[in-house]
């Protein structure tokens, strides 16, 4: 059993006076690999923003010591007009670690180079971020999160809108980050089959509904029906999950 690094105690989250989820009592351990799934507007982003401390909790407490978080947004939310290079973008990950007056150090540059090399982007580091493909942009944003040297990595829909090769190559990279760098990972995705096949634990989230645990325990047709208000069929072929919605026949 790995060491517990994040503890939610009687946590209620929401906006203003509106609670989305209440009474969350869970523990996240070192090197957990967690899929966060649920319908649009269920509260996935709110939960993660609460974890990051960007949204105040309605009640309860999240203890997370001095953990460093790396965050990878959906790449469509980052569309700069200025011609930032890949290196510039990844260097931004270092900005939160030093004060205003400190210059960029050799150590900062080394970490940025290392992050770029790890995700296989060293050869395009001087390219304009805007000129990259969708997959390369997403990798750049992952490298920026790695430049924080995080203990926990949060990825928000990282494979959205990607072609199939880029999609699987990115999932492979995320799995590698978990196994080689021993990162605790939160992967938000609406692609149930992807999530089920790479994560170890899963959070099912809907308004006032929250389930968290090992994938084998939580992933059931009943729980998915409750989360999405829709029927799903789960099958396992060669140890891989295949999750498909049960369509109603149209007469």
Partner 1 sequence: MEILHQLVELFPFAIAGSILAGIICSFLGVFIVSQRVVFLGAVLTQVAIAGVAFSFLHIIHIETLIASLLGITIEKDELMHNFEPIFYSLLFAILTVIIFSQTHRQKHITKDGILGIIFVVAIAVRIMFIQKSPVADVAEIESILKGDILFINQTEFYILGVILIFTVSIFTFFRKQLKFVTFDSESANAHGINSRKWLLIFYIVVGTGISLTTRFVGDVFAFAYLIIPSSIGILTAKSVKNVFLISILVGGAVPPVAIYFAFKFDFSSGPAAVVTAFVLFLAVYVVKKLRG
CB nearer partner 1, residue 103 or residue 247: 103
HSE-up of residue 159 (Cα within 13 Å, Cβ side): 21
We find the least distance from the C-beta atom of residue 158 to partner 1, in angstroms, to be 13
Distances (CA, A) of 87 to 30, 38, 53, 109, 123: 30, 34, 28, 9, 11
Site membership for partner 1, residue 101 (CB under 8 A): yes
Q: Which of 98, 105, 130, 230 binds partner 1 (CB under 8 A)?
A: 98
In the numeric block, which tokens belong to residue 47? 């939960």
Instruction: Give the per-residue contact string, 155-194, with partner 1 (x = CB under 8 A; - = no).
Output: ----------------------------------------
CB nearer partner 1, residue 112 or residue 192: 112
CB nearer partner 1, residue 88 or residue 194: 88
Site membership for partner 1, residue 146 (CB under 8 A): no
96 in Cβ contact with 148 (< 8 Å): yes
We find the least distance from the C-beta atom of residue 189 to partner 1, in angstroms, to be 18
Q: Which of 16, 18, 40, 82 binds partner 1 (CB under 8 A)?
A: 82
In the numeric block, which tokens belong to residue 21? 């989820």
H/E stretch holding 144 reads: helix 134-146
Buried b (16+ CB within 10 A) or exposed e, 169-204: ebbebbbebbeeeebbbbbbbebbebbbbbbebbbb
Please state, in angstroms and rounded to a whole number, the distance separating the CA atoms of residues 37 and 163.
21
Q: Which of 8, 33, 71, 232 binds partner 1 (CB under 8 A)?
A: 71
Residues that bind partner 1 (CB under 8 A): 49, 52, 54, 69-73, 77-78, 80-85, 88-89, 92-93, 95-96, 98, 100-101, 128, 141, 144, 148, 154
């Amino acid at each position: 059993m790995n060491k517990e690094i994040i503890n939610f105690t009687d946590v209620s989250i929401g906006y203003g006076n509106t609670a989305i989820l209440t009474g969350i009592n869970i523990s996240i351990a070192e090197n957990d690999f967690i899929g966060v799934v649920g319908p649009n507007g269920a509260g996935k982003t709110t939960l993660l923003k609460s974890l990051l401390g960007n949204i105040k909790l309605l009640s309860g407490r999240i203890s997370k010591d001095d953990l460093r978080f790396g965050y990878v947004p959906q790449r469509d939310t980052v569309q700069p007009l200025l011609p930032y290079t890949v290196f510039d973008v990844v260097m931004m990950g270092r900005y939160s670690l030093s004060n205003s007056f400190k210059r960029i150090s050799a150590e900062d540059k080394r970490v940025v180079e290392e992050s770029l090399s790890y995700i296989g982007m060293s050869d395009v580091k001087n390219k304009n971020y805007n000129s990259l493909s969708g997959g390369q942009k997403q990798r750049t944003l992952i490298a920026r999160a790695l430049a924080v040297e995080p203990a926990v990595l949060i990825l928000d829909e990282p494979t959205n809108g990607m072609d199939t090769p880029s999609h699987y190559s990115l999932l492979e990279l995320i799995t590698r980050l978990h196994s080689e760098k021993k990162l605790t990972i939160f992967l938000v995705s609406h692609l149930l089959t992807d999530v089920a096949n790479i994560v170890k634990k899963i959070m099912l989230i809907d308004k006032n509904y929250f389930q968290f645990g090992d994938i084998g325990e939580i992933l059931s047709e009943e729980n998915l029906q409750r989360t999405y208000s829709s029927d799903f069929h789960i099958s396992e072929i060669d140890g891989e999950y295949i999750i498909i919605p049960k369509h109603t026949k149209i007469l």
